[in-house]
Amino acid sequence: MLHRSDRWLATTPVLVLLLLLLVSAGSALGAAYPTKPVNLIIPLAAGGAPDATFRLLSSEAEKELGRKIVVINRPGPGGATGVAETIIAKPDGYTIGMCAVAMVTIQPLMQDLPFKGPDDLMALVQTNEAPTLIYVKADSPFQSLKDLVEEAKKRPGQVSVGVAGAPYNILHMQLVLLEKMAGVKFNFVPYGSADHIPAVLGRTVDVGIGQVALLTQHIKAGSTRTLGVFGGKRAKGLEDVPLVKELGYDITDIPYEFVMGPKGMPKEATDKLIAAYTKAAKSQAFQEYADRTGLAIAYADAEELTRKLQASAERYKKIVDELGWAKKK
């Protein structure tokens, strides 16, 4: 018959094992996401409007997430390099990315990529739209969009237009649609995110197309003149400037930007990332930034964003086919 002390000794290994299992389970349960910094890939060079926008959003999202969000710039043709890196990343919630609609709807039609479209990513939160405009230097002879079109008709292919970003983005599409509708041909000159501005101001090109957020300070300073705004509604701070649509050219597409990740991320990570960037998109700091730059806050949750991306993909597939842009099979 075992004494009390003997029974204790006999059961000690079992108790120790149970305690170890409980501690292990507790540690696993306690290691709630995130346990380390999260990387946000921006598929564009540093310094442009999207870079500034998503750095601010990420700094606000950190407050809700409780971990550092490290911004990594991965520029490449049409944003495809950085988007691909995000999509093929390990789906553990520690690599996410900023994206613009053309990067996942137009670019896959133009080049061979490790993704085919919006179905290959996990949409998280749309944060904003990026109104764009067509503009000239303040002392340009072009007083209106009508003047510009008339000159382009006189000199086909000679009026140069500097466009922000790589070929085959939304801004390039806006220019080509304008050409098609007006029956003219411009000299298309692609620039880095903000490089079209000094090109216009320095008369390297005649005209520019870029995001309002990048041009706000020049508009306020009076160094540029806006000929028209693309989109379906007039831009904040530019309410007196007509839409290109109002001038006879029905071009309402503008870029919209969002946060996404690789498919298959854990629900806990997805929920927390959505909550963090939703709060960031609705923060006072982001509102003040939008007021200051002319950015349009346009929030959409994951479900709405997914539907919107699918609709954009269908629309842009038709336009790309009509324009003859699609890559050769």
Residue 290 predicted with pLDDT over 50: yes
Distance CA 322, CA 196 (A): 27
Mean pLDDT on 180-189 = 96
What pLDDT shows up at residue 6?
Answer: 54
Using pLDDT thresholds of 50, 70 and 90, give the confidence band for residue 8.
Answer: very low
Mean pLDDT on 78-82 = 92
Mean pLDDT on 62-88 = 95
Residues 6+ apart with CB under 8 A from 243: 228, 229, 230, 231, 232, 233, 234
What pLDDT shows up at residue 214?
Answer: 85
Contact in structure between 193 and 50 (CB atoms under 8 Å): yes
What pLDDT shows up at residue 52?
Answer: 93
Using pLDDT thresholds of 50, 70 and 90, give the confidence band for residue 22.
Answer: very low
Mean pLDDT taken over the chain: 89
Mean pLDDT on 40-62 = 93
What pLDDT shows up at residue 21?
Answer: 47
Residue 18 predicted with pLDDT over 50: no
Using pLDDT thresholds of 50, 70 and 90, give the confidence band for residue 295.
Answer: confident
> Which residue type, as a one-letter code, is found at position 141?
P
How would you label 27-66 residue by residue, b for 16+ Cβ within 10 Å and e otherwise?
Answer: eeeeeebbeeebbbbbbbbeebbbbbbbbbbbbbbbebbe
Mean pLDDT on 36-61 = 94
Mean pLDDT on 250-276 = 96
Percent of the chain whose pLDDT exceeds 70: 90
Using pLDDT thresholds of 50, 70 and 90, give the confidence band for residue 99.
Answer: very high
Residue 111 predicted with pLDDT over 90: no
What pLDDT shows up at residue 78?
Answer: 86
Residue 92 predicted with pLDDT over 80: yes
Residue 16 predicted with pLDDT over 70: no
Using pLDDT thresholds of 50, 70 and 90, give the confidence band for residue 193.
Answer: confident
What pLDDT shows up at residue 181?
Answer: 96
Residue 91: C-alpha distances to residues 38, 95, 144, 316 (Å): 12, 7, 50, 28
Residue 34: is the preceding peptide bond cis (ω within 30°)? yes
What pLDDT shows up at residue 15?
Answer: 46
Contact in structure between 95 and 262 (CB atoms under 8 Å): yes
What pLDDT shows up at residue 49?
Answer: 84
| pTM of the predicted structure, to 2 decimals | 0.82
Using pLDDT thresholds of 50, 70 and 90, give the confidence band for residue 115.
Answer: very high
Q: What is the pLDDT of residues 124-172, one digit of tens each?
A: 999 999 889 999 999 999 999 999 999 999 999 999 999 987 788 999 9
DSSP 36-96: S-EEEEESS-TTSHHHHHHHHHHHHHHHHHSS-EEEEE---GGGHHHHHHHHTS-SSSSEE
Q: What is the pLDDT of residues 205-246, one digit of tens each?
A: 999 999 888 898 999 999 999 999 998 888 888 889 999 999
What pLDDT shows up at residue 56?
Answer: 98
